[in-house]
Amino acid sequence: MPNKLVQAAAEGLPKITRRLFVGGAAAASLPVAAAAKAVMPQEPMTVDAFLKIATPAELVLYHSNALMDAMAAMHPEQEGWKVHVDHDYHFVLISGQLPTGGTGKAVRS
């Protein structure tokens, strides 16, 4: 099969290069970055201020992450702590990653 360029699909489209695309994307992101900086408060919010205005879902996530951090501090030999919040079945699961014994299967003791 001959290796020739078919330009029928690109007729009428402007020529674009990687440099033009990256430059345009960078220029388009500047107003967004400026707007985000304008919205940010001057001083970071304290934990007490956050807890006063947080929604119930944000409170659940905050406290479950705090409990996960406490579990990680109590059990430093365990790695890969995770939090799972399930609002459908109304539970929070905090677990450490089970160690593997080289076979790829979880080892339970």
Mark out the alpha helices in the chain (DSSP H runs): 18-39, 47-53, 56-74
Check: pTM over 0.85? Answer yes or no.
no
Question: Cα(88)–Cα(103) distance, rounded to whole angstroms?
Answer: 35
What is the percent of the chain with per-residue pLDDT over 70, rounded to a whole number?
A: 55
Instruction: Give the pLDDT band (50/70/90) at residue 108.
Output: very low
CB-based contact 60:92 (threshold 8 Å): yes
pLDDT tens column, 34-64: 666 666 667 888 989 999 999 999 999 999 9
Instruction: Give the pLDDT band (50/70/90) at residue 107.
Output: very low
